[in-house]
Chain A
Amino acid sequence: MLQPQNGTYNPPTLNHPAIKVEDLTVAYHDKPALWDIDLLVPQGVLLAIVGPNGAGKTTLIKAMLGLLKPVAGSVEVFGRPYKEQRKLLAYVPQRRSVDWDFPTNVLDVVLMGRYGALGWFKRPGKQDRELAREALKKVGMEDFARRQISELSGGQQQRVFLARALVQDAQVYLMDEPFQGVDATTERTIVKLLQELRAAGKTVVVVHHDLQTVTDYFDWVMLLNVRKIASGPVGEMFTEENLRLAYGGRVAFLHARPKEAEERIKGEGRRIKDEG
């Protein structure tokens, strides 16, 4: 149902959204983490979910994947309940959700992305290993296949998680703060990857922490603070007004940003887009 809501722009092309979230409410004991969320994610967009700490961004991603049970509401993927569509979703969690001292190497972690296709009990074979190596090549980590994951830097860990998601060959990718604390090389790799995924018609939903790069990296945005503030094309919805509503007036940087810095950042984003 295309109901006009405050700050939501639903063009006619949203007839077959990749993800449809309706009335989603998630609560921890008596505190709401997400309240009455409605969201339509069109196919093929790069969506950034932004909001202050505790806004429920990670909660939203986890609810979309069925990792959390909502108190109310539903999530549909390509028109069907998400439980039936798990094969079309790929998850890139926060790096800290995992113990990196676990005895395993990079290739092994990426192979885990193939477990869904293998099903019960079957072990990965040569073909799976080939696919895993290709995914590692796409993120520039092919030389690290045998490396222990405890020896990886933050950016390398992030790229391993990305390769694990790539190997699933999904339609929708959900990433939780992939740019958090990574080096410049990794950041460029991730942006290039996002561009390639979009070019291939995939939909990517990213919890993003860096407001400065939203307009450069993404074409769709959702502002969230327990409730949805706004969602839609970046150009229309990523406004000072909406940011103020989401962050409670603590967004002084938009005024203070000097013109040249803005131009430089935009130029960098355009260059990466062209290279991609």
Chain B
Amino acid sequence: MLDILHNIIFDYTLRNVALGAGVLGIISGTLGSYAVLRRQSLLGDTISHAALPGIALAFLITGSKSTAILLLGAALAGWVATLIMLNIIRTTRIKEDTSLGLVLSVFFGFGLVLLTYIQKLPTATQAGLEKFLFGQAATLLAEDVTLMAILGLIALFLTALFWKEFKLLSFDADFGVTLNFPMQAVNLVLTTLLVIAIVIGLQTVGVVLMSAMVVAPAAAARQWTNRLGIMVLLSALFGAGAGIGGAVISSLVPKLPTGPTIVLCISGLVLLSIFLAPARGLLWNWARQYRNRRNFRAEAVLLDLYALAQQHQNRLHGHSAAVLKTMNLNRAAVNKCLEILQERGLAVSPVSGIWGLTEAGLRKAEQLAKTHGGKP
């Protein structure tokens, strides 16, 4: 453990990868929250896949492989893809999901064609652009991380600045227009920040998997909170955790690629959140359903006891459990229900196998009979 901490600080490669992955996690988690809330998760996927030809063209046009130039190409391609997608929806009868799928596949295919072409070029400097497919975190240089951090800080600052405008855009954009906010301009800013967030992560996680980093942290965070501010914060935290965790794990296990490991980490967080979160989590809801069903069955048995008791002067007269079992479809559960009723002081068993209502049980049964209108 101490070894890892030591390495994170002093090992050049691990330090860069961990920092880069952490920055990427924070930014994609933050902006991904808005993408998820605005139902734009697929758009994130399209932008990241569309970045590939942008990177290839940037190299072909400038001959440079500097990260800044390549990421600029990626951002421009991402933006062009978004505009084309919107135009297709506006001018044809094609719907949003089809338009996204079209743009994604055409751009990505074009990108692959360009990559193959570049690989066949006679120059020796052509190697290395394939790293943007699945990411190659080990190639992160200190200046790359610095660039990521600067872009990330700008994105975070703008998110904080436009906080209420982004909230308005995501919840009720039309209402924003009537308040005289130029919501199209706000949309432009938010989409640009999303493109920046995606482009920041391409070197680490690659175009194919980047959409996971946009969507998963926010999806996980949504499970735990009902407040937008907490959700964005948690999403950034989850993203950073998955980033740093993935970087560390892949450094410990030989031949484990960093990008996919990070994505596995965040996927694990999503699974945990889906199961364990209170209120929205599956386990919590299963437990609540189980408790409800148990209550209903116990109430049914209580009403059965009540019905039997009606036939005697002494309402607390006991009856055998066997009789109760014949009155209930779910025979096996009757014993359990009787135990529950006893726990709650509503029924009592003076002799083994014989059950009767208590005073409290009688009152409760009368109350239930009124609201339920008798045995169904």
Contact = CB atoms under 8 A, between A and B. Distances in A.
A67 B222 CA distance: 31
B59 interface: no
A12 interface: no
A213 to B, nearest CB: 26
A180 to B, nearest CB: 17
A103 B222 contact: yes
Contact of A115 (B181, B222, B228): B181
Nearest to B186: A120
B294 to A, nearest CB: 25
A121 B181 CA distance: 11
A109 B228 CA distance: 12
B174 A93 contact: yes
Interface of B: 37, 39, 161-165, 167-168, 170-172, 174-181, 222, 225-228, 231
A102 interface: yes
A30 to B, nearest CB: 13
A148 interface: yes
Contact of B37 (A91, A102, A124): A102
Interface size class of A (residues with CB under 8 A): 20 to 34
Given A65-B178, A66-B177, A121 B222 contact: no
Contact of B179 (A86, A97, A98): A86
Given A89-B178, A105-B226, A112-B171, 4 more contacts: A65-B177, A67-B177, A112-B164, A164-B175
SS class, residues of chain B in contact with chain A: helix
Contact of B180 (A86, A109, A148): A86
A198 interface: no
B228 A91 contact: no
Which 7 A-B pairs give the minimum distances between C-beta atoms? A116-B179, A86-B180, A91-B178, A103-B228, A65-B178, A103-B226, A148-B226
A87 interface: yes
A168 B167 CA distance: 18
A62 B175 CA distance: 11
Nearest to A170: B178
Given A67-B177, A115-B181, A121-B162, A93 B168 contact: no
Which of B162, B163, B164, B222 has the largest count of A CB atoms less than 10 A from its CB?
Answer: B164
A224 to B, nearest CB: 21
